[in-house]
Structure 1
Amino acid sequence: MKLLPTTPLEQLEQRGRLLFKKTFPDAGEPCIVAHAPGRVNLIGEHTDYNDGFVLPLALEMQTVVVGSKNGKDKCRIASEAFEGLVEFEPNKDLKPGDPLWSNYIKGVVVNFLRNGYQVPAFDAVVVSEVPVGGGVSSSASLEVATATFIEALGNLHLERSKKALFGQAAEHEFANMPCGIMDQLISECAIQDCALLIDCRSLAMEPVEMKDLNICILVCNSNVKHQLSGSEYPLRKQQCKDAVTVLQSIDPKITSLRDATMEQLNQVKDKMSDVAYRRARHVISENDRTCQAANCLRKNQYEAAGKLMTESHLSLKDDYEVSCKELDILVDLALSVPGVFGSRMTGGGFGGCTVTLLRKDAVSSVLDKIEKEYEKRTGIVATAFITRPGSGANYKRLV
């Protein structure tokens, strides 16, 4: 099983510049290149929209937006991954539409306008190597790269958290996905060689160094995405709200599951449905695991951190019910190899990727195990890549 290569940022930029010249032959040289990474979440799943804690890191894989003002009244955008040219007037009442990928860009434009910023008409192209549908936030990387491009285009200087919120709002309004803030925030704010412990209520961030070169992160893509995930995500969010409503009967100060303890949850267990109880149990315990894992990684206690990651997967599988057969198989195969500290599904679930914390010298054994067993048991070929914690969004001027 071969690892997917990570394309250097300079090569992505060059592909973007070539695509820009091909798409807009009369536009001259592009003036801005902006980029933002995908992400993988080490631990802290389905806690972000419950005001909880998450521990993501940025991938080295990036989405790049290359372009310039065009002096016209329409924005024109093309993507390396999709055919056709998208056009829209930036200052008109934009609505979601086809093609679907363009909605993430339109949603960001709308949020700039809504917050009092001017968005000049521009020509731009998108080049990305962040896997789509793999649970590693390809949409957030596009949103944040777009926001960074517009920021540079207008000579603006926005707070990083504000740009992340623009991306989250685009996801809510133009993709109908009620996500938390984690994906956009790590894509925007990531620090090289660090995971970030993010408090999704206050947006406070604490770097957690991961500089040990003998330890690495392996991301395995199940290459399956079950269609029920679109409806199940908002359902989980509502079930968490239902649990909060019951918890407020014993303490009105509980405004989200972030505020509740396991002791309080068990006090009201008989007053809520079994489903709501299990959803709440996952979130409350996951917050504890996430903070513990950050402390373990700070002390280079990789076995303890890995154990917490594996416990997270079991909770997501049994209490939150967002795993699937393929993800469970990938986790089990990884855990059977010496040198693996922990493994879990990452992202919204129902497919996508697993994340595994392991010694670098164990990578080839894990890949061999997955290559021999995963396709045999699922009929699907998995793909994988290794990542180090990368840096967040940025831009540069070309002319």
Structure 2
Amino acid sequence: MTNQLVDTFLKKYNQQPTATYFAPGRVNLIGEHIDYNGGLVMPCAITAGTWLLLTPNNDNVIRFSSVNFNEEGTFPVQKRYTKTGKEWYNYPLGVFHELQDGEWNASGLDLLYFGNIPIGSGLSSSASIEVLTAFALNDYYGLEHDKLELVKLSKKVENEFIGVNSGIMDQFSIAFGEADKALVLNCDTLKYKVVDCDLGDYVLAIINTNKRRELSESKYNERVEECNTALTALQKEINITNLCELSAEKFALHSHLIADETVLKRATHVVKENDRVHLAAKALNAKQLDEFGRLMYASHKSLKDLYEVTGKELDAVVDFCSSYEHVIGARMTGAGFGGCAIALLKKGYEEDFAKKLTDDYVAKVGYPAAIYVHQIGDGVKKIAD
């Protein structure tokens, strides 16, 4: 793949790239919509991701191009940039904007991106681009930021430059992921543990509903505000800074403070989902995959009934998985409103699962889903010359 990208780069820019970098996508195994509530999440990096090839130019401009998109962007080297619209290159442009806000002065640069993460699928294609660009520029120019600083910078791009009030999980897992490991990340303190993710006789199937979601145009920001409303109500009696400081038991004692029924449902999901991550980590450590699978199903039900972010497409996938004897757990992953689900599928049944799920999904939804299996891979890195 890298050789093909080098050829594309050469045709595009009439010169060889001088460096190549890769950043993965991610799936969240459990712990959804609690990253921006200071909770625990359990993401892992996957082997699908985004590649970046780059080389300097003498034209004092930054040129963005992609194998995946027709839109190209050319910008003069300057201190600050402004989001141009919905074009894909606003994600790397935002990284330049944030880095230029410091003492670094960029030079002309030609960049080519390629990704094999389905766009809008909930596997963090945007965060992959952000972390990849930040890591590449940091390495290429010797800026000496550590990975955590690059993660925070990438999150700032997503929140302030792009305008999506997401948490830090996506960028963190893309930067710190390890092969065959899951991360248990505290999104409040940013402390994390690495958990062996030995799936034994099972594989991680990723099912793309092929319903694309535009996160910044979805009800994601509305959910963030509903959680903030719940937090404000609870703070009338208890001293907390985020919802996930509460156990389910303590939340039950104070939930009467939340008058709005919808807001109460949102907060109930957040608190109980945080507890599920604790239990899931214990299950993985004990190699109790059946229990882990049960928690996955419980997570999806909560996201459907209490947080209301699934939709008929994701529900159709998980409903089929619950009836398929060789799947022991399934749930939506990512922000929802479309995107992907994941399932723990018995090895050797990949083809049978794909065929039967496709038939069932087409009958219910009207078009096919995409099913693939990825390994749990490493985080962002430079590819050796």
State the TM-score, normalizing by the size of structure 1: 0.92
Among candidates 315, 329, 333, match of residue 346 of structure 1 = 333
- Deviations 1:241-272 (CA, angstroms, capped at 9, x unpaired): 111111112212x1100112323333333332
- Deviations 1:171-219 (CA, angstroms, capped at 9, x unpaired): 1122211110011111111001111111111111211112345221000
Contact 2:151 2:172 in 1 (8 A): yes
Letter paired with 2:173:
I
The aligned residue for residue 297 of structure 2 is 310
Secondary structure of residue in 2 paired with 1:101: coil
Secondary structure of residue in 2 paired with 1:358: strand
The aligned residue for residue 244 of structure 2 is 258
CA distance in 2, matches of 1:117, 1:203: 26
Among candidates 10, 22, 29, match of residue 11 of structure 2 = 22
The aligned residue for residue 160 of structure 2 is 173
Among candidates 102, 112, 116, match of residue 99 of structure 2 = 112
The aligned residue for residue 129 of structure 2 is 142
State the TM-score, normalizing by the size of structure 2: 0.95
The aligned residue for residue 374 of structure 1 is 361
Question: Given the superposition, is the C-alpha separation of residues 293 and 168 from structure 1 closer, same or farther in structure 2, using an over 3 Å criterion?
Answer: same
CA distance in 1, matches of 2:348, 2:144: 43
Secondary structure of residue in 2 paired with 1:55: strand
Contact 1:62 1:128 in 2 (8 A): yes
Letter paired with 2:256:
D
The aligned residue for residue 284 of structure 1 is 271
Question: Given the superposition, is the C-alpha separation of residues 227 and 64 from structure 1 closer, same or farther in structure 2, using an over 3 Å criterion?
Answer: closer
- Mapping of 1:78-157 within 5 angstroms? 78-98=65-85, 100-157=87-144
The aligned residue for residue 8 of structure 1 is none
Residue 36 of structure 1 deviates from its aligned partner by 0.1
- Mapping of 1:198-347 within 5 angstroms? 198-225=185-212, 230-252=217-239, 254-272=240-258, 273-347=260-334
CA distance in 1, matches of 2:206, 2:94: 29
Secondary structure of residue in 2 paired with 1:169: helix
**Runs of 4+ displaced beyond 4 Å:** 226-229
CA distance in 1, matches of 2:362, 2:97: 44
Q: Which runs of 5+ in 1 are unaligned?
A: 1-10
Residue 228 of structure 1 deviates from its aligned partner by 8.5
Contact 2:208 2:371 in 1 (8 A): yes
Identity of aligned residues (%): 33
Question: Given the superposition, is the C-alpha separation of residues 270 and 205 from structure 1 closer, same or farther in structure 2, using an over 3 Å criterion?
Answer: closer
Contact 2:163 2:216 in 1 (8 A): no
Letter paired with 1:16:
L
Secondary structure of residue in 1 paired with 2:222: helix
The aligned residue for residue 38 of structure 1 is 25
CA distance in 1, matches of 2:184, 2:362: 35
Residue 115 of structure 1 deviates from its aligned partner by 3.5
Letter paired with 2:5:
G
Among candidates 46, 53, 60, match of residue 59 of structure 1 = 46
The aligned residue for residue 73 of structure 1 is 60
Aligned length: 384
Secondary structure of residue in 1 paired with 2:117: coil
The aligned residue for residue 5 of structure 1 is none
